[in-house]
A = this chain, B = another copy of it.
Amino acid sequence: MANGDVPDIVRAAYAELAVTDLAASRRFWVDRLGFHVSAEDAGTLYLRGYEEFVHHSLILRAGAQPACARFALRVRTPEDIDRAERFHRDRGCRTVRMPAGATKAVGETVRVHDPFGFVVEYFHDIERVEKLHQRYDLRRGASINRLDHINLVTDDVRGFCEWYSALGFGLSETIEDDDGTLYATWMFRKQTVHDVASTQGTAPRLHHLAFAVPESHHILSLCDVLGATSEHDAIERGPGRHGVSNAFYLYLRDPDGHRVEIYTTDYFTGDPHHETLRWNVNDPRRRDFWGNPVVPRWYEEASRVLDLDGNMVPLRERRSDEQRITVGADGLGVSRS
């Protein structure tokens, strides 16, 4: 599918978050949301959903400040790690090879610092674990199935879209205006609406991680539990139906303010020439199909990210309207003017 110069990326695979109180995080992610604990040690929790057959999709590591340390893309073959390294080096990005085990249960990887400020880890091997998808006796909370996607805040949505197009991602949906300004994009490798999304804003920041659950009632049940325990302040937005992606959603904030989306039922995008669905920025249904207003902090707040050395990446201001990039005339692809 991808050509020889470009890594064949399978999907968004995991993320590592720095959290300041691991016990509080465990209570939120494990006891409330219902993640399965694959492993834990003094300072780290390795979590997965019930339809994930590999070691983890989320790493929570105790740290001094809340941040996203990195996110990871799984590639099809070991050689695709080399391709990922070359792809980024050729474009001036700093890269670091990591040996097997540098991340628990994961084979060798390359970590890259991309032009948008994010550390991305490419890997192929990860430990397979017992299939628990039918252990309904263990499922609880929102009955987490799997990591679905990673949503990033960037000050260059158009550049982001070009970059991931070059990496072989399809563009499923956009938010645009009549002048061609691109406000947000949804891009996929696996056959769903997205693996990575970008939203315009002060950058680089992680907007949210999204995890798929079976049905909408699992999301309502989670809200009920959070009301019952007076932890309803964790609910930031929703539940509701997204216009973009058509998924049923809920946004929560973890004890460090990291945002997580509980997400169910988007659609198949695996056909050849899957056509991009373009939403106008003035359509009130783009963010909420029922027209419910979005709370301002959902737009404003997001998690800081770390660089390859574990230092906080400085923020760049959101560009003014005049500075905004515009979509090219060439259809699905976008080109920098």
The contact size tier of chain A is 35 or more
Given A190-B191, A232-B291, A292-B235, A136 contacting B275 (CB threshold 8 A) = no
> Which B residues are in CB contact (< 8 Å) with A70?
none
Given A225-B136, A246-B133, A232 contacting B268 (CB threshold 8 A) = no
Which one, A151-159, A212-220, A299-307, A325-333, is touching chain B?
A212-220
> Which B residues are in CB contact (< 8 Å) with A240?
223
Could you tell me if B270 and A232 are in contact, using CB atoms closer than 8 angstroms?
no
- Report the bound CA distance from A267 to B191 in whole Å: 12
> Which B residues are in CB contact (< 8 Å) with A267?
51, 133, 145-146
Contact of A92 with B by CB under 8 A: no
Closest to A8 in B: B1
Could you tell me if B227 and A136 are in contact, using CB atoms closer than 8 angstroms?
yes
> Which B residues are in CB contact (< 8 Å) with A230?
285
Given A76-B272, A232-B291, A285-B232, A277 contacting B131 (CB threshold 8 A) = yes
- Report the bound CA distance from A272 to B190 in whole Å: 12
> Which B residues are in CB contact (< 8 Å) with A214?
265
Could you tell me if A137 and B228 are in contact, using CB atoms closer than 8 angstroms?
yes
Could you tell me if A268 and B1 are in contact, using CB atoms closer than 8 angstroms?
no
- Report the bound CA distance from A46 to B119 in whole Å: 48
Contact of A103 with B by CB under 8 A: no
Name the contact of A243 in the complex, choosing from B124, B134, B137 (C-beta under 8 A). Answer: B134
Q: Hey, what's the 0/1 contact readout for A110-147 against B, CB within 8 Å counting as 1? A: 00000000000000100010010111111010000110
Could you tell me if A272 and B10 are in contact, using CB atoms closer than 8 angstroms?
yes
Could you tell me if B246 and A74 are in contact, using CB atoms closer than 8 angstroms?
no
Name the contact of A275 in the complex, choosing from B53, B228, B291 (C-beta under 8 A). Answer: B53
- Report the bound CA distance from A285 to B292 in whole Å: 19
Could you tell me if B134 and A228 are in contact, using CB atoms closer than 8 angstroms?
yes
Could you tell me if A243 and B215 are in contact, using CB atoms closer than 8 angstroms?
no
Could you tell me if B271 and A74 are in contact, using CB atoms closer than 8 angstroms?
yes
Could you tell me if A241 and B223 are in contact, using CB atoms closer than 8 angstroms?
yes
Contact of A163 with B by CB under 8 A: no
Contact of A233 with B by CB under 8 A: yes
Could you tell me if A146 and B268 are in contact, using CB atoms closer than 8 angstroms?
yes
In angstroms, how far is the closest chain B Cβ from the Cβ of A83? 15
